[in-house]
Amino acid sequence: MKSPDMSKSTILVTGCCGFIGSAFLRRMVAQYPQSQFINIDKLTYAGNLNNLKSIEAKKNYHFIHGDILDRDKVESIFQEYKPNIIVNFAAESHVDRSILDPTSFLETNVLGTLMLLENAKKIWQSFDDKRFIQISTDEVYGSLSETDPPFNERNNLQPNSPYSASKASADLLIRAYYETYGFPALISRCSNNYGPYQHPEKLISLAIVSLFLKKPIPVYGDGRQIRDWIYVDDHADAIECLIQNGEIGEVYNFGGESEKRNIDVIQSICDIFDRIRAQKEGESRKLIIFVKDRPGHDKRYAMDISYVKEELNWNPSTSFEVGLNKTIDWYQKNEMWWVPLLQGELKDYYKKQYHL
């Protein structure tokens, strides 16, 4: 099966009003003016049309407000646009919310994926330049100890949270479609992303916003858990690379080769903040508070990315230091984006999650 020609494709993307999907679209819509991009998004609390302001008027971009679980709507989108590439970002994505209520995670992340697979299978029989990219996560592999080698693509799936269990379930479904129907799918598993437009419920964005508001920064447990951080534009680049050069039926691990303990991440953010605000050294660290640990908290994630370096010639290009400075700078200049989010839903969530 030949690789699709990105310069004249019809690309259905899901969940691109969220953090990573919007970074991908901002890049791709400008880069491939002859291709059509159709974005279906339910606009949950995490979906934000402001993330796509810079491309909303482009001729090759179309937004459809809809749920990937809506059978009739999804079927009519496939009939009307006949996409030859699908990139599935749509998901409930926050571990803490999955612990509070797993149902929507299983619905969107598993049944939503099934809905897309079924519709693609129906229309793709006569296509020869088609591919389905599933945006999965390192969390499906479970947790590492400090001395384990990083996850590679052959590690077993051992998810520990309702979120990661739902993502692993979708990965298994995709594997089954490939094995049973020869369905042209590829899976990307990426580590923790950070960068502009991330909803302030995740560690880095929450810490930055808390600093601007002079509010406590909650660190779970002892803060010694480790994540492998990747700047969001590097993830967008990885997905573009996968569409063009990935092999059908394969799984690819992506990461930033930047393992950090949570407490070190937070302290770095505090120190950058002190510098840009010309505050006394150590001033911001006073806002750090240690709170009750997350149940089932995974100790460490780390990705072995030697396969994608070799097979796809892909490397992360943004160091953690550069990415973190760019991110803080963006939040400083874009209060108009995040201040409105602090009302309503997020306010209630902060109360429920942190009792703050």
List interacting residues with ligand TYD (CB under 6 A): 95, 192, 202-203, 206, 218-220, 225, 227, 262, 294
- Active-site entry in 92, 139, 257, 259: 139
Closer to ligand TYD by CB, 130 or 227: give it: 227
- 201: its two tokens: 């419920």
Task: Tell me the closest approach of the beta carbon of residue 266 to ligand TYD, in angstroms.
Answer: 8
Using CB under 6 A, which of 199, 240, 256, 302 touches ligand NAD?
199
CB under 5 to 8 A by kind: which of ligand TYD, ligand NAD, none does 262 bind? Answer: ligand TYD
Residue (285 or 326) nearer to ligand NAD, CB: 326
DSSP state, 247? Answer: P
163 is catalytic: yes
Rounded distance between C-alpha atoms, residue 168 and residue 131, angstroms = 20
The residues, any chain, with a CB within 8 Å of residue 219's CB and separated by 6 or more, are 262, 263, 266, 288, 289, 290, 291
If binding is defined by CB under 6 A, does position 93 make contact with ligand NAD? Answer: yes
Nearer to ligand NAD by C-beta: 93 or 210? Answer: 93
Q: Give yes or no for a contact between 133 and 12, defined as CB atoms under 8 angstroms apart.
A: no
- Closer CB to ligand NAD, 14 or 35, in the complex: 14
Kindly state the smallest distance separating residue 61's Cβ from ligand TYD, in Å: 29
Structure tokens at 25: 């679209």
For the chain, what is the radius of gyration of the CA atoms? 20
In the complex, the smallest distance separating the C-beta of residue 281 from ligand NAD, rounded to whole angstroms, is: 30
**DSSP secondary structure string, 158-213?**
---SHHHHHHHHHHHHHHHHHHHH---EEEEEE-EEESTT--TTSHHHHHHHHHHH
Q: Please indicate whether residue 138 is annotated as part of the active site.
A: yes
Least Cβ distance, residue 131 to ligand TYD (angstroms): 26
Q: Identify the residue whose tokens are 């809809």.
A: 66
Least spacing, CB of residue 282 vs ligand NAD, in Å = 29
Contact 208, 217 (CB under 8 A): no
Q: Of ligand NAD, ligand TYD, none, which one does residue 258 interact with (CB within 5 to 8 Å by kind)?
A: none
Q: How many residues does the chain have?
A: 356
Residues between 23 and 82 that touch ligand NAD (CB under 6 A):
40-44, 46-47, 67-69
Active-site position among 41, 67, 92, 138: 138
Q: How far is CA 20 from CA 15, 79, 168, 188, 228, in A?
A: 9, 27, 19, 13, 16
Could you say which of ligand NAD, ligand TYD, none residue 199 binds, taking C-beta under 5 to 8 angstroms by partner kind? ligand NAD
∠ Cα 92 43 141 (to 5°): 15
| Shorter beta-carbon distance to ligand NAD: residue 130 or 167 | 167
Q: Pick from 330, 236, 244, 331: which is nearest to 29 by CA?
A: 236
Whether 141 sits among the annotated catalytic residues: the reply is no
Give the three-state DSSP class for 127: coil
Cα(104)–Cα(107) distance, integer angstroms: 5
By CB under 6 A, is residue 234 in contact with ligand NAD? no
Closest contact distance (angstroms) between CB of 137 and ligand NAD is 4
Residue (46 or 287) nearer to ligand NAD, CB: 46
Shortest Cβ contact with ligand NAD: which residue? 18
Please list the active-site residues: 138-139, 163
Contact residues for ligand NAD, defined by CB under 6 A: 14-15, 17-21, 40-44, 46-47, 67-69, 89-93, 108, 112, 135, 137, 167, 190, 192-193, 199
